[in-house]
Structure 1
Amino acid sequence: MADADIYQQVQERYSSAAKTNDEDYGRDVATAFGYSREELASIPEDANLGLSCGNPLALAQLREGEVIIDLGSGAGIDAFLSAKNVGPNGHVYGIDMNKDMLARAKQNAQKTSTKNVSFIESQITSIPLQASIADCIISNCVINLVPDADKPLVFQEMARLLKPGGRVAISDILTKKDLPRGLKESMALYVGCVAGASRVSEYERFLKEAGFADVLIVDAKNDLNIYTSALGEVEGESNGAGCCAQVKKATSCCAPDQKAESSDAGCCASVKKQASCCGPDQTAPKEGGSGIFSESFKNEFKDIDFNEWAGSFKIYAVKK
């Protein structure tokens, strides 16, 4: 897959997600992944599109007066919550390359008269902000979408933007070993946060080579096989928004009736009537289908055990 094609497909997918609005769906997904209902009630409903695959704020430990950068800020869920944590003396910069997501985020900021958040159009490999400006950088299931050749640039940019002693708190999908060619070359799985995921060892190397220490990468050990098992139950009229598509029957994105064990549960925590948060954009038509997730897609990947290859991870590191 050419890098230009990857960026274009990601742009198209998230433009579509930015134009959806299913408040119940977004709330159910977010609460399953560690966001409290009180937190969600404190931000614009349109800021939560159900795209989260974890809760980086649970790792970030934000403090009053800090400067935060949110890589791939989308409609603003983590940016607005961060703004409340840092208060009027702090500031949050939401970075996103997608114009539709930025438009929605900026509308949300205007509706709530939020003054300590700025949304900037930029790829996360080169951000128009001064060096050593941030105390903490957060990101939520975004870095896996960056083409492999550009991934080291993301970590170098994080190091440039952070103050000495600054930290990163990231939720992302990583692979445990090299993906088979059929998975690695699937654009459907790429925009679904799987095919572009880095190896754990690569992620650690990217961080250390960029100048980070105290690197912590923890596997949430969630069941990722929902990526194929849920495809047959996808609601044909689902909103199709982002990493979590609606499912008719599944009560959990990992296994029936499975419940999250902690408030910062990973990508496949329990989701009422939803599929995996970081799985593919599961919006196949009811029969056949001409979209990315057709019956042929389900048949192609039905025998793959994704848990053998990938997992949902929480990442924390400190700039030297």
Structure 2
Amino acid sequence: MLHQGSSRARSWCQSTSKVLKEYFRPQQRNVSVSRLNTHFLEVGEGRSVAYQIIPGQRKPTVVMIPGLHSYTHMNGQKASCLLRYCDMHDYSCVVYDHECSGQSSKGHLKKVLFTNWVEDALAVTEKLTEGPVVLVGSSIGGWLSIITGLKLKERLHGLVLFSPALNYVWQHYHRHKAQLPPDTRRRLEAGDPHVHTHEYGNALLKEDFAADSLQYELDLSKTLDITCPVRIIHGLNDREIPSDQSMKLCLSLASEDVDLIYRKNSTHQLESPPDLELFLTTLDRMIKDNPVR
């Protein structure tokens, strides 16, 4: 369940940091991102999530909300780059893994529901941060960031979303279930979980998890009551999420300060060095243009 290729992530992140060093004019600090301790937060009876945190004196606090696949987890490239950026600039930052995924894989796989992941995002943000927050989400993490932002509107200072996979879990479940052997499909229908090997990394397939997600689906024909600055980045080479969905999301947000950035040759993961550079410059610009008062 852990992200594979973390050494490559560090290498890419280091090369990206070199490119951005002159632009950002970072403050030098002594925290070693590669040596961060992993902690566990209790989110319910017998339930916990693994997280890493960098303290900082400046606001807002940045929280990265993970998605379904391992490249979005706290051992992934985006999380590594985000931690390094926040350390360099003295912002508090929290990254974590949802229950039954990544480093939080010791949970009850048969019991976990999408609601638990919503609760994870809320618990991490409410218990581990204070004051204004910027939520960063990739893929399903983008959907969960919006759900969390709608529940914590008074604290939401900004959103940065990569290929946000809105209303995705139900369709993802059925699409991949159809490709599995008959005996595996029968086990899924009987309620057993299945860890599906995917080009993006291992991911959970579970019928009640997917069905539970339906109650959180967003109606983009209605206004979403999010008024903070929002930045959305989407690759036109994305084979998972149609790029026009991000356009619909952009138009549905109540905020007047929304930027939608399309990258012609980028995939759903958005994790090439130029993608990571765009991520950090976009986050940096948004925070500087919207200082905490």
Q: TM-score, normalised by structure 2?
A: 0.41
Bigger relative contact order, structure 1 or 2 (CA pairs below 8 A, ≥6 apart) = 1
Which has the larger helix fraction?
Answer: 2
TM-score, L = length of structure 1 = 0.38
